Structure 1
Amino acid sequence: MIYSYKRQILATLAATAVFASCVTKKYQQPVVNTDKLYRDTTITDTTSMANMPMNQLFSDTVLVNLIQEGLRENLDLKTAVQRINEAQATFNQSKAAYLPSLEGSITGTRAKTSAASLNFPPEFASSFNLKTTTYQAALSTSWEADIWGKLSSAKRAALASLLQSDAAKRAVQTQLVADIANAYYNLLALDQQLAITEQTLTIRVKDVETVKALKEGAVVNGAAVVQSEANRYAAEVTIPDLKQSIREAENALSILLARAPGTIKRTSLNDQKPVADLKTGIPSQLLKNRPDVQQAEFAFRSAFENTNLARTYFYPQLTITGQGGLSTLQLKNFFDHSIFYNFVGGITQPIFNKGQNRARLRTAQAQQQEAYYAFQKSLLTAGQEVTNALFSYQNAVAKQGSRAKQLLALEKSVDYTKELLRYSSATNYTDVLTSEQSLLAAQLSSVNDRLQELQSIVNLYRALGGGWK
């Protein structure tokens, strides 16, 4: 009889375990197609510049030192680290849920019973003690059996959230590296544009004196003098704006470094030696190189486990509770024959809250689907950013070749028109003015071309997932 009873228990437990495996599902990475993430490119080489250390990508040691300072001091990065600590604490809490709880209590109770409530004759009621004092010291414990995977799903969801926080921190780091480098290059470009403008102003001040001399020689008229002065002031008036932009760029970079606004030590734009061989690797590598893509996947994984958790609310909950300790009416006999204990095992099955459980499950499933779409979008965005950065770099290189020819032609145009103005009546100062303005605009644009090349490399590095390894 006892053997048959044990067999029934084992069979019941085995059936419960098999059924429990049907309640929750095992996570699998979403299947996504990455073949065409990079537009108009067919790449089979798995070498990616994302694996390149920063001191190899950036030849400027001043920039490398600024990036290292930013990684140490940046406040957004420090905030991301604290979010990891929060997620770690939540994960530890989910692991502790497997263990039984234990609580201790010490109580003293003073009670008085009404004589009328005893329903004894009046002559006997006076012989009873209607006041009692009870002293009790007890330990209580409670444990929930994880039959349907409720605690396991909560633990896996917490782990996914922890990994998501770590990926978010690495995403902040990659963005920080790119932001510091781009801000630094922008500052160098502004420096060079200011130098070009100041050099142009010096030349135009001399041009004003030359035109005045030509007017005295009756080569040009008064209109030419006024035009030369206006041309000089047109260059001069842009200098304060450039200085303002430099000041603001320095302040913005200081914030990234967690510094008070101040001067930034730097080299020059001409000192930069950009990497020429840009390797993108294959698109599927974005899944392991891009922290924000990983962050989106871990968010989906957490939502998946929350859906599993929502399913377990439809099934019975097995809880075992126990209490034991000492209880007595007289404090002097507290340790004499005062032991008490009780154990209770109970199963709770939802009956009238099925609507709430269904709503919980539908909410979890919708959130899981939202997380899946967000993961897909993060991967598509990553491919878009790689393609944009690579195309921007190619255009910047192509423009610099054409820009060099344009600058050479404009320099000759300025020289020729100035010479014609001295010795020929076939030209006037308007031609000189047009040539000089076109030359300055082309010189400033050439700086932007160089800036675009450098920033495109930085953006490609970040888009591929570089900067956190």
Structure 2
Amino acid sequence: MKFKHKHSILIGFAILTLSACVTQKYNRPQVQNEGLYRDHNTTDTTTMADLPWKNLFSDTTLQSLIQKGINENLDLKQAIERIKISEANLQQSRAAFLPSLQGDLSVTDAKQSRSALNFPPGININLETQTYRAQLSTAWEADIWGKLSSAKRAAYATLLQSDAAKRAVQTQLIATIANSYYTLLALDKQLAITEQTIKIRTQDVETMKALKEGAVVNGAAVVQSEANLYAAQVTVPDLKRSIKEAENALSVILVQAPGSINRTTLDQQMPYTNLQTGVSAQLLQNRPDVIAAELGFRAAFENTNVAKTYFYPALTLTASGGLSTLQLRDFFSQSVFYNLVGGLTQPIFAKGQNKARLKTAEANQQIAFYAFQQTLLTGGQEVSNALYAYQTAAEKEETRAKQIASLTKAVDFTKELLRYSSATNYTDVLTSEQSLLAAQLNGINDKLQKLQSVVNLYRALGGGWK
């Protein structure tokens, strides 16, 4: 018994050694993962990517919309179904280590041609026979070179990749819903400011008419004030259309018929300010698309291992056995048969299939490596862009407030001068009013940029799936 035990250990060790000679162990490839954030160097590993998304968004209405999107979004459901496909493939790769087993139950009726047999005259032989057969057959391939093991690891990597892809869909979904929501609030604010401007300019028209009657201004000022009013009014239909389109787009994401979206106001939104990025190397653990890209490379690496094993002999064992008889009454009597075959198949000439398979696998592995590297670099770019967008919006915010305050005073002053002095004309009022409206609308865009840059930074760092 001891000898057999030692013999089995030696055989197992020999098989592992042979397998290691053909297939290789996976190690993460060397990729650039340091210093990916331009002009932003830190050693602090605390990152907002670890923050649950509900803590990032204080607006409970937005939280409800995001939760509905996670529950109902069709892209996310498709990603979940792809995970199920990967799970099935993994189960199949695991089952490849087991022997196959098939059952066969058949009845065969055969009749020979007398003329074809060319029997001499006078010989009477039954030319029709019935064969009853029941058998089980099995086949098993020894994983000497690690082909089945590598295939299983490739399937497992693909499963993890599909799961990471699902998480990437979720992070993008959260960002898309939040950005669409903020865009909708910005459009609401722009419409409100435009409508308020229309009210003011309507009053300006009446004022200009009164001043004309008092001979303070001429008819040109009245016409200019009317044109200024129309310039504001003509933007309203486009703003309302944009609001409807934004609502429709968000409705599709939430898997509901196009319609109104429940929301708050832009003034109620407070951007998250603790923008901790961690170090760029953390993208390898936090960002789902980077994780998926590396797992894609790992699956391609294992597929290359599988392709290498086709150049080496395959050891297979096949067996079949059962019952076979010409008379149904003798089915369980002296009708047993079996066969057992062990085979070692060495490819000699396969029309270049094995070489083509290996070259294809190696090329796919290299493509997967480039995709992994590209995804990581893109992640660093998106983090940098989001940081710059936030910084730019913050810098503009204070200056924009001063601009709006100055333009508001300019409008008031020019109107007063127009009423009581001939030192100015309505062109000055017109210029001030148009500049004020443009500054107010740009101020809304500044806040929208700030809100969306936080969302984009959170997604770029890999937040939203933990």
Q: Give the TM-score taking structure 2 as reference length.
A: 0.96
Farther off after superposition, 25-34 or 241-250: 25-34
Amino acid at match of 1:68: Q
CA displacement, residues 245-267 of structure 1 (integer Å, 9 cap, x when unaligned): 01111111111111110111110
Question: Given residue 141 of structure 1, which amino acid in structure 2 is its aligned partner?
Answer: T
Question: What is the DSSP-based 3-state SS (H/G/I as helix, E as strand, rest coil) of the residue aligned with 1:30?
Answer: coil
Query: Per the alignment, do residues 8 and 195 of structure 1 end up closer, same or farther by CA in structure 2, a change over 3 Å counting?
Result: closer
1:86-123 Cα shifts (integer Å, max 9, x gaps): 11111111111111111111111222345567676545
**Distance change in 2, residues 1:7/1:210 (3 Å):** closer
After superposition, residues 425-464 of structure 1 pair within 5 angstroms as 425-464=422-461
In the TM superposition, what are the counterparts of 1:19-418 in structure 2 within 5 Å? 19-114=18-113, 121-123=120-122, 125-126=123-124, 128-353=125-350, 355-418=352-415
State the shift of 1:55 in Å: 1.9
- The answer as to whether partners of 1:314 and 1:354 remain within 8 angstroms in 2 is no
Q: How far apart, CA to CA, are the structure 2 residues paired with 1:313 and 1:56?
A: 53
Instruction: Answer whether contact 1:317 1:347 (CA < 8 A) is retained.
Output: yes
Displacement of 1:346 after TM fit?
A: 1.0
Other-structure match for 2:421: 424
User: How far apart in 2 are the matches of 1:209 and 1:270?
Assistant: 32
Distance 1:5 1:121 in 2: 61
Residue 418 of structure 2 contacts residue 426 of structure 2 at CA under 8 Å; is this kept in 1? yes
Q: 1:9 to 1:295 in 2, by over 3 A?
A: closer
Mapped partners of 1:462, 1:122: distance in 2: 93
Whole-Å Cα distance in 2 between the matches of residues 217 and 198 of structure 1? 29
| Cα distance between partner residues in 1 of 2:13 and 2:68 | 59
How much does 1:347 deviate?
A: 1.4
C-alpha contact 1:59 1:274 (8 A) present in aligned 2: no
The alpha-carbon deviation at position 53 of structure 1 amounts to 1.4
Report SS of the residue matched to 2:359: helix
The alpha carbon displacement at 1:132 in A equals: 2.0
SS in 1 for 2:352: helix
**Aligned in 2, Cα 1:221/1:348: closer, same or farther, shift over 3 Å?**
same
Measured after TM superposition, the shift of residue 9 of structure 1 is 10
Q: Measure the CA separation in 1 of the matches of 2:452 and 2:352.
A: 55
Structure 1, gaps ≥5 residues long: none
Q: Distance in 2 between matches of 1:322 and 1:333?
A: 24
Deviation at 1:13, TM superposition (A): 7.1
Equivalent pairs: percent with the same residue?
Answer: 67
1:171-208 per-residue CA deviation (whole Å, 9 max, x = no partner) reads 00000000000000000000000000000000000000
CA distance in 2, matches of 1:263, 1:5: 77
* Cα distance between partner residues in 1 of 2:170 and 2:274: 24
**CA pair 14-47 structure 1, distance change in 2 beyond 3 A:** closer
Partners of 1:289 and 1:16 in 2: CA distance: 38
Asked whether the equivalents of residues 185 and 451 of structure 1 are also in contact (C-alpha less than 8 Å), the reply is yes
In structure 2, do the counterparts of structure 1 residues 439 and 11 end up closer, same or farther at CA, with 3 Å as the change threshold? closer
Contact in 2 for aligned 1:90/1:158 (Cα 8 Å) = yes
- Secondary structure of the residue aligned to 1:105 is strand
Summarize deviations over 1:358-411 as a string: whole Å, max 9, x none: 111011000100000000000000000000001100110110000011011101
Instruction: Give the Cα–Cα distance (whole angstroms) in 2 for the partners of residues 350 and 199 of structure 1.
Output: 83
Contact 2:46 2:276 in 1 (8 A): yes
What is the alpha-carbon distance in structure 2 between the residues aligned to residue 406 and residue 337 of structure 1?
105
Q: What do the CA deviations read for 1:264-304 (whole angstroms, capped 9, x no partner)?
A: 11100010112112100111111010000001001000100
* Offset, 1:11: 7.2
CA contact (8 A) 2:311 2:347 kept: yes
Alpha-carbon distance between aligned partners in 1 of 2:464 and 2:8, rounded to the nearest angstrom? 57
Counterpart residue type for residue 41 of structure 1 = H
**In 2: Cα distance, 1:455 partner to 1:111 partner:** 79
Judging changes above 3 Å, is the alpha-carbon distance between structure 1 residues 6 and 75 closer, same or farther for their aligned structure 2 residues?
closer
After superposition, the C-alpha distances for 1:390-448 in whole angstroms (9 at most, x for unaligned) are 11001101100000110111011101111111111111100000000000000000000
Change (3 A) 1:86 1:13: closer
3-state SS of paired residue (1:206)? helix
Matched residues in 2 for 1:273 and 1:12: separation? 68
Secondary structure at 2:320 match in 1: strand
Q: CA 1:16 to 1:85, structure 2 compared with 1: closer, same or farther past 3 Å?
A: closer
Give me the CA root mean square deviation: 1.9
Structure 1 residue 130: Cα displacement: 3.0
Structure 2 contact 48–277 (Cα < 8 Å) conserved: yes
Cα distance, 1:131 vs. partner?
A: 2.6
Structure-2 change in CA distance of 1:309 and 1:281 (3 Å): same
Structure 2, unaligned runs of 5 or more: none
| Alignment CA distance shift 1:293-1:148 (3 Å) | same
* Contact 1:167 1:291 (8 Å CA) reproduced: yes
